[in-house]
Every structure is written in C-alpha cells, then in structure tokens.
C-alpha cells in the first residue's frame, strides 16, 4: 500500500524545504542586482503567478492522480514518454553529486567555527586562506591530477549518511519528520540573521543597490528570461520532486492552496536571502572598501563574505564561533532539505517500476552518489567541473524537461481534467485561465528560455580557449549524453511491479 503524508503541515514543510536550497541564498540576490534591482521584482512576481504556481498545481495534481513519480506519470501518458520521466529523475541524482560537496563545505566550516569558539583556530575575520585550504586549486577542469580535498571528502560522507538515513525511512517516518524540524528551524534562523544584517552599518547602501529600481532595463527581454529562469529553477520543478511528493498526497488534499503556499514561501525565502546578502555586503563595502561582487556571485558570498561579517558582530571569539556555527548549520539544513527531496525523486520513480525494497534501493543510490561526489571533491572537480555540469544541466536539461512536461501533460492528459482534479477538494478553485497559461503562455516562455540558454552556451564557446572548449564538451555535453543513455537503459528494462 502506498504511503501518504500524515499531515498537510508535514507535506508543506517538506515541499518548501525541497524548493529552498543553498542556491537561493545567492542566485536571487545577484539576479536581481544585475537585472534592474527593484525593477526585476515585477517580472519576477509575474513569473511566479504565470509559471511557478500553475506548474506546481499541475505537478501536485498529476502526481496524486497517477499515484506515482515521473517515470510512472510519463509512462501513463504514453509508453514511449517513459524515457522523459527517467531523464527527469536523472537530473536530481547528477545535481546531488556536486550539490553534496557544497553542503560538505558547510559541514567543514561548522567544525572550524567550533574551533574558532574554543580558540583553536582564528579564521572568521580572514576566511580566504581556510577556503583555499579546503577547496584547493587546479589549473583547469582537465587538471585531474591536482589532488583531492580530504576535508570535503570526509564531510561528503556525513552528507550522504544523512541523505541515506532520512530517505530510507520513507515519506512519513523519514522526510516528513525531519522536514517538520528542519524547515521551520531554517526559516527562523534565516530571519534572525536577516534582521541582524539589516541593522549593520552600511546595510542601507546594500539594500539600495539591490532594490533601487532601474526601469530602463524593464523592457530588455533578457531581464524577463532571467526572471522566469530564476523562478523556474528555484522552485524545483520539472525534476520529478514535486510529482513524487504529489503522489503521496491524500485523495482529498488541497492542491491549489498547497501550491500557493509552497511557491510563495520559496519566494519569501528569496527576498529574505536578498536582504541578508546585500545588507551584509553593504556593511563590507562601507567598512572594507570592497565592491559588491568582490566575493563573487556564487558560493563565495556564503563562504567568504559571511564569515567576515560574523567576526564583526562581537569581539568575543566564543560568540563569534557560535554564530559562525549557527550560520553554517543553517546552510547545512538548507542543503539537506533539498538533497533528500532529490534522492526521493529517483527513489519514488524506481520503486514504481522495480520490485525492490526501499532500504536496499536507497543504499545503492547513496553509494553511487557518494562515488560521484568524491569526483567533485577533487580540486578540478570542485573549482571547475562543478560549474560546467551545473550550467549544462540547469540551463539546458531542466528547462527543456519543463517545456516537454508542460506540453505533454497539457495536450495528452488534458488541462480540463487536471483542473477538475486540482479543484475537487481545494479551498479555492482555479479557472479556465489556468488552461490557457499551461497550453500556450508557459510553453512559449519556457521555449524562449531554452533557446536563449542554448544560444548563450554555444556562442560562449567562441570566447574560450582550447582547454575550456574541451572541458565543456567532455563535462557539459558529455554528462547530458550520459544522462540520456542511462535513462534509455532504465526505460528498456521490464516493469516488475503492478503499474
């Protein structure tokens, strides 16, 4: 008998935890910063209501209707489309291999923060050397002999242990229980850090840089593409997670309201992260004379800028260390809440097709995943290959899958039937506008995003040297080909369960 979520609250916390991840902390703030500041919020919120919410409703409703993950969902639509379901759930498995190494750095910094508190190592005011020691360096993506980070490798074991331990227990006893603790804890910690950051000297300069509208950019099509890409990727759509989570919903669950809560909670976290990041950067710009992008626009913000900011909150090294520990524990929670949803996406799909015990399946995936993460723990892997794989999987595969998904479900299953399913037990209902959005508006927009991203990746190769071109072909297009090949192998295997 298929499991169900024990409570609506547990489901919402799990879904919100899945959507909120480490990427939110820096992706939204810097997308807004470079795309018109406050002016970016207009296309961002339009994207929420014309793309994220309609797609979230669609995935929850279809998952519940089919009572299965992506593989079963697409196979039900049309047998040959099953391969699309497998490609979808390959995405979170690939993402987990490198995402776990970023979470691992949070684990390492948690322990270094405790070392700071006990006076063993004084690093928060100058995290650069520590970051360099942890992540190492390599000449390029092909410099595979540069070495491996023992710090990240050991911490990755911790990350995969948590993934394995939580997901093997199932939906209600594993993911739901931990989400009821981790998600509210994450939100509370982030709000506390946001409030404190907003009180720092220079915070207003940072917030002005982030939110001051530059309406001259609002008519630039690339701003709208960026807004839709941000909303689409930050809500964990089109990778099988929300279809899998929807498949465990009760027959009388409120689909529409749950979708609204999930998307808007994720958007709230984007805004909280924006205020936190740029208040902190405003402080550093004011007191250190650096630029807003001095620490990069990615993980450098969390692992370089924040330790410096934390060191200024108190002259007491014990308090500094404990605050550092809390902050990096917060990042760890954000990472784990997302990674367990990724692992569950593939697990649900495989359990639907193959008669295999959950514990055995999760154990196999976790071992394979750890081996993949070990590759990204290498200096070349963490510093170069990670970015290449992320760019190709995120910009081409995920967006492309979203386009295929919305067209397939809308035209083969039918938006009218799906709307009736979603409205059946919802507090408030969606009208026919939802049909038109899914059948016409969203496909066009996702098509533009896919074409734009593909064009940028291909033309970007002309500005690269021979090693960079080879790296993109091997680790970019190579991983795409491997995902499709693996999906085809799983697709050709016989079903051993009662579909």
Cα gap 163→336, rounded to integer Å: 7
- Which structural domain range is residue 240 located in? 8-492
Q: What is the pTM of this model?
A: 0.94
Token pair, residue 460, equals: 């970007």
| CATH number of residue 357's parent domain | 1.20.1740.10
Distance linking the first and last C-alpha atoms of the chain:
13
> Would residue 154 count as lying in a domain?
yes
Are residues 117 and 110 in contact, defined by beta-carbon separation less than 8 angstroms?
no
pLDDT along the chain (499 residues), means of 10: 90 94 85 90 92 95 95 96 97 95 96 96 94 95 96 98 97 95 92 92 93 88 86 88 96 94 94 93 89 85 90 90 95 94 96 96 97 97 95 88 94 94 92 94 89 90 94 96 97 90
Q: What is the predicted pLDDT for the residue at 295?
A: 87
Total structural domains within the chain: 1
Are residues 240 and 344 in contact, defined by beta-carbon separation less than 8 angstroms?
no
Q: What is the predicted pLDDT for the residue at 23?
A: 78
Are residues 14 and 5 in contact, defined by beta-carbon separation less than 8 angstroms?
yes
Q: What is the predicted pLDDT for the residue at 499?
A: 65
Place of tokens 């020691």: 133
Q: Give CA separation, 123 vs 116, 303, 316, 434, in Å.
A: 7, 12, 13, 52
> Would residue 2 count as lying in a domain?
no
Q: What is the predicted pLDDT for the residue at 275?
A: 94
Token pair, residue 28, equals: 């939204």
Token pair, residue 105, equals: 């750095």
> Would residue 1 count as lying in a domain?
no
Q: What is the predicted pLDDT for the residue at 96?
A: 96
Neighbours of 371 (CB within 10 A): 11
Neighbours of 424 (CB within 10 A): 16
Q: What is the predicted pLDDT for the residue at 299?
A: 82
Cα gap 402→174, rounded to integer Å: 28
> Would residue 3 count as lying in a domain?
no
Burial 304-328 (b: 16+ CB within 10 A, else e): bbbbbbbbbbeeebeebbbbbbebb
> Would residue 499 count as lying in a domain?
no
> Would residue 138 count as lying in a domain?
yes
Question: Which residues does 163 contact at the CB level (< 8 Å), separation at least 6?
Answer: 96, 100, 336, 339, 340, 343, 366, 369
> Would residue 207 count as lying in a domain?
yes
Neighbours of 473 (CB within 10 A): 12
> Would residue 38 count as lying in a domain?
yes
């Amino acid at each position: 008998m298929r499991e169900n979520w024990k409570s609506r609250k547990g489901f919402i916390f799990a879904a919100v935890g899945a959507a909120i991840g480490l990427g939110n902390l820096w992706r939204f703030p810097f997308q807004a910063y470079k795309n018109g500041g406050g002016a970016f919020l207009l296309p961002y919120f339009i994207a929420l209501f014309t793309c994220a919410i309609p797609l979230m409703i669609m995935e929850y409703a279809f998952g519940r209707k089919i009572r299965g993950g992506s593989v079963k969902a697409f196979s039900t639509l049309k047998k040959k489309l099953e391969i699309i379901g497998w490609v979808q759930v390959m995405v979170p498995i690939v993402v987990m291999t490198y995402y776990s190494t970023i979470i691992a750095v949070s684990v390492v910094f948690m322990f270094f923060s405790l070392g700071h508190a006990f006076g063993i190592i004084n690093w928060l005011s100058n995290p650069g050397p520590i970051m360099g020691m942890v992540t190492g360096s390599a000449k390029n993506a092909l410099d595979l002999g540069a070495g491996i980070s023992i710090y990240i490798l050991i911490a990755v074991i911790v990350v995969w242990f948590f993934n394995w331990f939580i997901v093997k227990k199932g939906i209600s006893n594993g993911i739901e229980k931990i989400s009821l603790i981790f998600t509210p804890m994450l939100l509370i910690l982030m709000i506390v850090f946001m409030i404190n950051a907003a009180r720092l000297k220079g915070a207003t300069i940072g917030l002005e840089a982030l939110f001051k509208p530059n309406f001259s950019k609002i008519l630039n099509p690339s701003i709208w593409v960026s807004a839709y890409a941000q909303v689409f990727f930050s809500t964990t759509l089109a990778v099988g997670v929300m279809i899998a989570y929807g498949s465990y919903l009760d027959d009388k669950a409120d689909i529409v309201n749950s979708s609204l809560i999930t998307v808007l909670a994720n958007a709230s976290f984007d805004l909280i992260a924006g205020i936190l990041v740029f208040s902190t950067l405003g402080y550093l710009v004011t007191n250190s004379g650096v630029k807003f992008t001095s620490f990069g626009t990615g993980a450098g913000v969390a692992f370089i800028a924040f330790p410096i900011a934390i060191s200024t909150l108190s002259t007491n090294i014990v308090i500094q260390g404990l605050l550092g520990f809390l902050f990096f524990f917060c990042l760890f929670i954000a990472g784990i809440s997302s990674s367990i949803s990724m692992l569950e996406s593939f697990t649900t799909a495989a359990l639907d097709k193959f008669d295999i015990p959950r514990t055995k399946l999760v154990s196999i995936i976790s071992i394979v995943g750890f081996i993949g993460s070990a590759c990204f723990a290498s200096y070349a892997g963490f510093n170069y290959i990670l970015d290449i794989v992320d760019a190709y999987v995120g910009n081409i595969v995920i967006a492309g899958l979203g386009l295929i998904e919305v067209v397939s479900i809308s035209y083969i299953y039918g938006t009218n039937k799906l709307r009736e399913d979603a409205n059946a037990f919802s507090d408030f209902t969606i009208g026919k506008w939802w049909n038109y959005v899914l059948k016409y508006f969203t496909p066009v927009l996702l098509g533009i995003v896919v074409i734009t991203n593909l064009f940028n990746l291909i033309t970007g190769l002309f500005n690269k040297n021979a090693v960079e071109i080879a790296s993109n072909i091997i680790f970019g297009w190579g991983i795409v080909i491997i995902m499709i090949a693996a999906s085809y192998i799983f697709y050709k295997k016989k079903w051993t369960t009662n579909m």
